[in-house]
Structure 1
Amino acid sequence: MTPFVIIGLCGVGVLLLSLVLDGILDFDGLAGDWFSTAALGGFVSALGFGGAIAQGAGAPQLVATGIGAGAGLLVGWFSAWLTRLVRSGATDETPTTRDVVGWDAQVVSAIPDGGYGAITVRRGGHTFRFNAQAERALPAGTEVHVTGVLSPTAVTVAATYDVLP
């Protein structure tokens, strides 16, 4: 059982190296993500710990090795799949002022008649704050809809429902 535990600990060491060195040790020329340090570390650690568990449950050495290899293939495949998924994931561009037209917002600083107040737009986990102008005075807390762009920091808004004076 001790050799399997040592193999498992070596696999954990490879996984830690893959986190610290961020793919420097990856073998880019060999089948992409299948030979990444994350996939190899997952395979080796699952082989070791899977074999140790099987041997601890009473399985003979050869059977424990087969069980460990099966566990290693499963974890190695999952690591490669997850690595590929993360690397190919697209990221959205940061929204610009013109992107907020049509979005809902909330007045955080009252908008006076003919003047500027402030609004907050929340979208995709981001909070954007803009100076805002409206056709009529709007108190803080009013739900608004962004109708246009005046500058990179200012927008025009309209109340989404009638506001009582």
Structure 2
Amino acid sequence: MIGVIGLVLLALSLVLGDVFDGAFDVLAGDVFSSAVLGAFVSATGFGAAAVQGFGAPTAIALPVGLAAGVVFGAFAVWLTRLIRDGGSDATLTTDDAIGRDGRVVTAIPADGFGVVNILIGGHTLRLNAKADHPIQPGTQVHVTSVLSPSAVTVAPVWDEIDQP
């Protein structure tokens, strides 16, 4: 029965969020969230029931159940922190491309737009690009400004090998 109560608490925390939000603010940390308490209670109940199912007396089943509860509770704390502190990886915007280098994908004509790929934090941002002079595909470029949410101005990256 205790295991089922823990599972109900886990389900409530999945659907409603932290059921105890604010109730345990005096106590620091993630230990008293509804997900952690639900994991602890259900593992304690099911762990003790499993040991009793093998014929062990209550005096042995209770400590084994509590140990299982602590292990699963610690795992729930770890998962909670992993999800919360994992970083947001906020959506990249065109402003993030300013000052970055990229490569021309589609030729940029003198009076129109081409396409460039900019690598930012492991993510490729594909943007329309305009330049003062025509730039051929494959050329490395530097983003100089933002024209719109989907377009930037670029300039070719100066390469010492090409200079006299």
Task: Normalising by structure 1, report the TM-score.
Answer: 0.73
Give the Cα separation in 1 of the matches to 2:32 and 2:146: 52
Cα 1:160–1:93 change in 2 (3 A) is: farther
Give the Cα separation in 2 of the matches to 1:96 and 1:57: 59
On the 8 A contact 2:18/2:34 being kept in 1, the answer is yes
Give the Cα separation in 2 of the matches to 1:160 and 1:131: 21
Give the Cα separation in 2 of the matches to 1:30 and 1:150: 47
On the 8 A contact 2:107/2:134 being kept in 1, the answer is no
On the 8 A contact 1:97/1:149 being kept in 2, the answer is no
Amino acid aligned to 2:14: L
Give the Cα separation in 2 of the matches to 1:7 and 1:143: 65
**Residue 108 of structure 1: how far off its partner (Å):** 3.4
**Residue 62 of structure 1: how far off its partner (Å):** 1.6
Give the counterpart of 2:141 among 123, 126, 145: 145
Give the total of aligned pairs: 155
Amino acid aligned to 2:136: L
Matched, 1:59 2:56: yes
Amino acid aligned to 1:112: P
**Residue 100 of structure 1: how far off its partner (Å):** 1.5
Give the Cα separation in 2 of the matches to 1:145 and 1:52: 66
Aligned to 1:70: 67
SS in 1 for 2:135: coil
Aligned to 2:8: 13
**Residue 118 of structure 1: how far off its partner (Å):** 1.7
Listed one character per residue, the Cα deviations across residues 30-73 of structure 1 (whole Å, up to 9, x for unaligned) are 41422211111010111012112222333222201110011112
Task: Normalising by structure 2, report the TM-score.
Answer: 0.73
Amino acid aligned to 2:24: D
CA RMSD of aligned residues (A): 3.0
**Residue 90 of structure 1: how far off its partner (Å):** 4.6
Identity %: 42
Gaps of 5+ in 1: 1-5
On the 8 A contact 1:109/1:117 being kept in 2, the answer is yes
Aligned to 1:156: 154
**Residue 149 of structure 1: how far off its partner (Å):** 1.1
Give the Cα separation in 1 of the matches to 2:8 and 2:105: 51
Gaps of 5+ in 2: none
Amino acid aligned to 1:145: V
**Residue 132 of structure 1: how far off its partner (Å):** 1.5
**Residue 138 of structure 1: how far off its partner (Å):** 0.9
Give the Cα separation in 1 of the matches to 2:42 and 2:101: 50
Amino acid aligned to 1:39: V
